[in-house]
Structure 1
Amino acid sequence: MDVTKRFNRIVAIYFQLQAKPVIRAKDLAEQFDVSQRTIYRDIKALEHAGIPIYGEAGTGYGLVEGYRLPPTKFSKEEILTLAAAEKLMQKFVDPDLFRHFSSALNKIKAYLRYNDKLNVTFLEENMLMGSLAHRFNENVPSALSILFESIAQQQMVDMKYRNSLSAGAVHREIEPVGVFHQGNYWYFMAYCHLRKDYRQFRIDRIHQIQLTSTAFTKEHNPLSHYLKKEESIPAVTIRIALPLAYARYTEWERSYYGFVSEEITDSEVIMTFASKNMEQEFARWYLMFADQARILEPDSLKEYVRALLTSIQI
């Protein structure tokens, strides 16, 4: 069993060497849940098998330029996963990026056997996804594609962006760092030359965007560096109680508001949240079901909800 497991790991490492210019032993060790020393031995095994690998421990490994094996045969599960991925891409990315993905996937499908093509077609005809409403600005169909290209080529972007507080779109020159999906929206982190600082933007609020020929002016940290800063904002612990019959209606949304855990009693569900925006986000969400719920803590949330109710004009 251990021999088979090691063989599969070495094959997987080889495919990653083909897919990426450089891979680090540290990253491979985390991915396969083994020590870096084990990865070093796996790399040696590939070298002994005649695979021309350059690099060394502590830096990274890559295949010698020009060395490639013919495309490998896809398994049935891999083929069906590609078909499912196309449907997911259609839902979660903008029209331009989906068009590029679909074009690439069609090139892969061209090499499939007849029976595999039939299986893919059957799955595609019987897998439906919801609409893309409000995830993207329909007037800017290539926003994701341009951001990806900017990050890959390290070139600045010109855009007109309207945030939730501004009356109109504002011109900004930015250096995108990374893109991420959270809740129902796509976001990206970028250095903004207008604000002289790093800012988080929402893609559906872009009104115009184009890639420039100007190179980045700064060397940026990986996206995770900036997201960790966002995570460092202290969270407020919130506990609310809901009747058993009503609690299920919150399951689809509660994760967006810092849901941590729940305790089920005979008559109700006590939910615990860690909210980083108690007043502007959690309190307003709570009003959607406030007639059915009780706030257990903190008292400051009770006071803010009372203030919101008082300010409501009917």
Structure 2
Amino acid sequence: MKRLHRLTAILVKLQSKKIVQAAELADKFEVSQRTIYRDMQALTDAGVPIGAEAGTGYFLVEGYSLPPVMFTEKEANALLTASKIIETNNDQSLINEYHDAVEKVIAVLKTTQKKKLEILQERIFTYSKREIHPSNSLSIIQQAITDFRVLEIQYTKANKEYSKRLIEPLGVYFTNNTWILIAYCRLRKDYREFRTDRITHILEIQELFPPQRFTLEDYYNRRAHLYRTNISS
């Protein structure tokens, strides 16, 4: 994570909690505590009123706030509820990104709204009976879809055979607690579907592929047509 992004994320974290420990921030951003100390000094030098208590942690001086973004209580409740549902999906990157987004929402709420949201958070529970096979690539895939960026993946087939492929990601869908990536596979020279929980390694490369018109509706209509053609032949 670039330092500017980390400083912004630290500021949001400070806004969303009364006290934040350096160790907690170091773990979250995977840096040393010494780096966090330097980040705090940088924010202070930039005019952010940060207080510190020895043995406790950092806090924002009362009265300081980020530029206001208006959310109603019902909107905040809906986002919190959605985060609980997202926790039952199998992709950790989606869970992490959504939690960060909800944290930004909480950061700009009034104190009374935050307290109500804390109550609701303790009283919402979701449960999935299906066995979940985790993946951690959906965020990269989503970005590549909108950037038209080629991805290099290492993929494990059902028979445990590994293969490395260059793909052009086009869309994703969720079924049976699994995210499925639709892409043009340069190895097979055709469209293929890949379970994200079988992608063991994913890499964004510098190459872009030409934008093309693609919708899931067209894709499935074409696949259904091919299926009917094969059955009748």
Structure 1 residue matching 2:88: 3-state secondary structure:
helix
Q: Choose between structure 1 and 2 for higher RCO, CA contacts under 8 A separated by at least 6 residues.
A: 2
* Counterpart among 151, 158, 162 of residue 157 in structure 1: 151
Q: Aligned-pair distance for 1:96?
A: 2.2
Cα gap change, 1:218 to 1:116, in 2 (>3 Å)? closer
Partner of 1:113: 110
Residue 161 (structure 2) pairs with residue 173 (structure 1)? no
How far apart, in 1, do the equivalents of 2:142 and 2:206 lie?
A: 15
Unaligned runs of 5+ in 1: 1-69, 235-275, 277-314
2:150/2:166 contact within 8 Å kept: yes
Q: Aligned-pair distance for 1:136?
A: 2.2
1:162/1:168 contact within 8 Å kept: yes
How far apart, in 2, do the equivalents of 1:148 and 1:113 lie?
A: 32
Structure 1 residue matching 2:108: 3-state secondary structure:
coil
Unaligned runs of 5+ in 2: 1-66
State the AA in 1 paired with 2:217: S
Structure 1 residue matching 2:166: 3-state secondary structure:
strand
Partner of 2:134: 136
State the AA in 2 paired with 1:154: F
Structure 1 residue matching 2:87: 3-state secondary structure:
helix
How far apart, in 2, do the equivalents of 1:227 and 1:136 lie?
A: 26
- The RMSD of aligned alpha carbons is 2.4
Partner of 2:100: 103
Q: Aligned-pair distance for 1:134?
A: 3.0
Residue 215 (structure 2) pairs with residue 216 (structure 1)? no
Cα gap change, 1:77 to 1:231, in 2 (>3 Å)? farther
Q: Aligned-pair distance for 1:195?
A: 0.5
Structure 2 residue matching 1:79: 3-state secondary structure:
helix
Q: Aligned-pair distance for 1:161?
A: 1.0
Q: How does 1:289-300 map to 2 (within 5 A)?
A: none
1:169/1:207 contact within 8 Å kept: no
1:150/1:156 contact within 8 Å kept: yes
How far apart, in 2, do the equivalents of 1:110 and 1:172 lie?
A: 41
Q: How does 1:16-27 map to 2 (within 5 A)?
A: none
Structure 1 ranges of 4+ moved more than 4 A: none
How many residue pairs end up in the alignment?
A: 161
Q: Aligned-pair distance for 1:71?
A: 6.1
* Counterpart among 153, 177, 188 of residue 181 in structure 2: 188
Structure 1 residue matching 2:120: 3-state secondary structure:
helix
Partner of 1:202: 195
Q: Aligned-pair distance for 1:217?
A: 4.7
